[in-house]
Amino acid sequence: MVTRGERGVEVRKNERFSLASYLEEKRLIVESALDSSLVIGNPAKIYEAMRYSLLAGGKRLRPILCLATCELMGGSLEMALPTACALEMIHTMSLIHDDLPAMDNDDYRRGKLTNHKVFGEDIAILAGDGLLAYAFEYVATQTRNVPPVQILEVIARLGRTVGAAGLVGGQVLDLESEGKPDISAETLGFIHTQKTGALLETSVVSGAVLAGAKAEDIAKLARYAQNIGLAFQIIDDVLDITATKEELGKTAGKDLQAQKATYPSLWG
């Protein structure tokens, strides 16, 4: 039996919900959308580098959160799909740049050689830049059936999230904190709130904005997303110590080796 909630969202009664099935269903939708969002152009090499990392797999958690929140707030998957793709483009950019020798200097990501190991540092930097720029273009040109003011709000949120007040600022403080044993819990919280949590929060909030959710609902969803971001980072910090390279899809123990500020290093 299918009924509709107060915001028009389908509610299925007497049917067990499988989170794993839901995530896999949405992941496949995102994978297909990402593949069609970025075709090979000229010069081919930069597009190949962009696609190499964008289509390298992963959980696609950020775009899925965007899609789920949009549908939860009464919107459609089609309304949110361009923004969902843009979020993954931005996330991929951050991974490409994070792996560079000047940053974390990693050789593997998602079980594959990192972008700069395949295409060189110069092309990897440009591939990240290309994905970042294209993310904004994609939201602006491909979003359908959403009022322009809501699209503009999403674009503004994406800009704040990735800039000096968000991801970039968190990365700077992360680099400056390496090798310092006296990092406070407040500083560590800021690093991870900006570097990891900000994009997760924007993923959740953007879906709600596109659906036309009320400000009070958006505020509640933002708080929910902040908690997801914190939990995600704590688990990531622990896995860097306890998991293998094969389990992580990247080099294990890099945080410890670089003497990064992490929750295990602060709390044990």
> Does residue 80 fall inside a structural domain?
yes
> Does residue 255 fall inside a structural domain?
no
Beta-carbon neighbour count of residue 263 at 10 Å? Answer: 18
Specify whether the CB–CB gap between 205 and 80 falls below 8 A.
Answer: no
> Does residue 266 fall inside a structural domain?
no
Specify whether the CB–CB gap between 85 and 33 falls below 8 A.
Answer: yes
Tell me the pairing of strands 2-4 and 10-12: antiparallel
Q: Calculate helix-pair angle for 77-98, 121-142, nearest 10 degrees.
A: 160
> Does residue 265 fall inside a structural domain?
no
The answer, as to whether pTM is greater than 0.85, is: yes
Read off the pLDDT of residues 199-247 as tens digits, 9 standing for 90 and up. Answer: 999 999 999 999 999 999 999 999 999 988 888 888 888 887 887 777 7
Instruction: Give the residue, 126 or 191, on which the prediction is more confident.
Output: 126
Domain count, the chain: 1
Residue 267 has pLDDT above 80, yes or no: no
Query: Sorting pLDDT into bands at 50, 70 and 90, what band is 3?
Result: very low
Beta-carbon neighbour count of residue 131 at 10 Å? Answer: 27
- The residues, ordered by sequence, that sit 6+ positions from 255 with a Cβ below 8 Å of its Cβ are 237, 240, 241, 262, 265
> Does residue 62 fall inside a structural domain?
yes
> Does residue 16 fall inside a structural domain?
no
Instruction: Give the residue, 188 or 81, on which the prediction is more confident.
Output: 81
SS3 112: strand
Q: Which pairs from 99-104 meet CB under 8 Å and 24+ separation? A: 99/124, 100/124, 100/125, 103/171, 103/175, 104/254, 104/258
> Does residue 253 fall inside a structural domain?
no
Quote the CA–CA distance of 167 and 161 in Å, as a whole number: 6
Read off the pLDDT of residues 46-100 as tens digits, 9 standing for 90 and up. Answer: 999 999 999 999 999 999 999 999 999 999 999 999 999 999 999 999 999 999 9
Indicate the burial class of 143 (C-beta count within 10 angstroms; 0-12, 13-18, 19 or more).
buried
Q: Shortest CA distance to 131 belongs to which of 265, 38, 17, 247?
A: 38
CATH code, domain carrying 116: 1.10.600.10
Specify whether the CB–CB gap between 40 and 51 falls below 8 A.
Answer: yes
Q: What is the mean pLDDT of the chain?
A: 90
Output the pLDDT for position 4: 46
Query: Sorting pLDDT into bands at 50, 70 and 90, what band is 2?
Result: very low
Q: Shortest CA distance to 225 belongs to which of 65, 27, 68?
A: 65
> Does residue 250 fall inside a structural domain?
no
For residue 152, give its domain range.
24-241
Q: Residues, the chain, total?
A: 268
Output the pLDDT for position 257: 72
Residue 268 has pLDDT above 70, yes or no: no
Residue 11 has pLDDT above 70, yes or no: no
Specify whether the CB–CB gap between 196 and 61 falls below 8 A.
Answer: no
